[in-house]
């Protein structure tokens, strides 16, 4: 029996959206965001729409606001103005704990810094999202169980015994990045957000990672938001968005550049 680590409420569902891939998964309207009110916005996006199941590559140099954008989409930050709709829900209208629950149920995030838990094993890190979300727990359980599903994802990424039950601190940087990817994919979240997910991978492991990422997102009809400096990957995606083309704020302030460096 899994003990859930946060008080559980029913996941916010939109059955029409889940059954119709043509519906938007993400809509941003007149969004403005600034780290400091006196500093001016680092993001000023009049409109952005991403359809359910679409795979979108975001391109832009350091300081262009990519990390700020991902923070808004993940519900870590909230805009000073505008609307952000994810799966039909107004993200900016939610309180902090409600955004946390929404993220746990509906998003898989591959963080640039991985954010793995050092005292947990590799498998425990991968299955951790299922302890915060009944929805993702039930989805993973339907695929054979949490451990079975974690091992399947890890094996596809080239991680197997004897590494599975070791603390993640004993893994290389590239191996830790693959563990973070498996953690984001477990439980078939509707939205997958990937922040520079291939930066520490060699060519062979990058190919295996991308193959698994696209396959899992396709099978679950997940929307994929992928940010990378490696524009050679952009042809693999349904759409490429240059942040400079949609962000009226232009170059982001130096604080945002430091966050992405």
What pLDDT was estimated at residue 113? 85
Handedness of CA 151, 3, 70, 191 (dihedral sign): positive
Reference 197, options 221, 178, 211, 214; nearest CA is: 178
Do residues 90 and 83 touch, judged by C-beta distance below 8 A? yes
What pLDDT was estimated at residue 38? 76
DSSP H or E stretch at residue 194: strand 191-195
* Three-state secondary-structure class, residue 40: coil
What pLDDT was estimated at residue 168? 95
What pLDDT was estimated at residue 4? 45
What pLDDT was estimated at residue 5? 52
pTM assigned to the model:
0.86
Do residues 253 and 42 touch, judged by C-beta distance below 8 A? yes
The low-confidence residues of the chain, meaning pLDDT below 70, are: 1-22, 251-261
What pLDDT was estimated at residue 21? 55
Do residues 252 and 68 touch, judged by C-beta distance below 8 A? yes
């Amino acid at each position: 029996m899994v003990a859930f680590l946060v008080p559980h409420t029913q996941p916010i569902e939109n059955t029409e959206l889940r059954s119709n891939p043509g519906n938007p998964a993400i809509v941003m309207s007149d969004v403005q965001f600034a780290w400091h009110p006196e500093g001016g916005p680092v993001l000023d996006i009049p409109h952005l729409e991403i359809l359910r199941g679409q795979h979108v590559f975001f391109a832009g140099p350091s300081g262009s606001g990519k990390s700020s954008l991902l923070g808004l989409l993940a519900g870590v930050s909230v805009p000073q103005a505008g609307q952000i709709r994810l799966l039909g829900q107004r993200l900016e209208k939610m309180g902090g704990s409600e955004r946390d629950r929404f993220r746990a149920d509906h998003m898989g995030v591959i963080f640039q810094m991985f954010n793995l838990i050092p005292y947990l094993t590799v498998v425990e890190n991968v299955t951790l999202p299922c302890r915060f979300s009944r929805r993702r727990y039930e989805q993973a359980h339907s695929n054979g169980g949490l451990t079975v599903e974690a091992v399947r994802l890890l094996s596809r990424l080239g991680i197997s015994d004897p590494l599975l039950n070791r603390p993640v601190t004993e893994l290389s940087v590239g191996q830790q990045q693959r563990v973070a990817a498996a953690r984001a994919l477990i439980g078939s979240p509707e939205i997958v957000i990937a922040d520079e997910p291939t930066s520490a991978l060699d060519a062979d492991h990058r190919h295996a990672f991308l193959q698994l990422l696209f396959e899992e997102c396709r099978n679950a009809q997940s929307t994929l938001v992928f940010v990378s400096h490696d524009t050679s990957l952009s042809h693999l995606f349904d759409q490429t968005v240059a942040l400079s083309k949609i962000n009226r704020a232009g170059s982001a302030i130096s604080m945002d550049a430091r966050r992405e460096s």
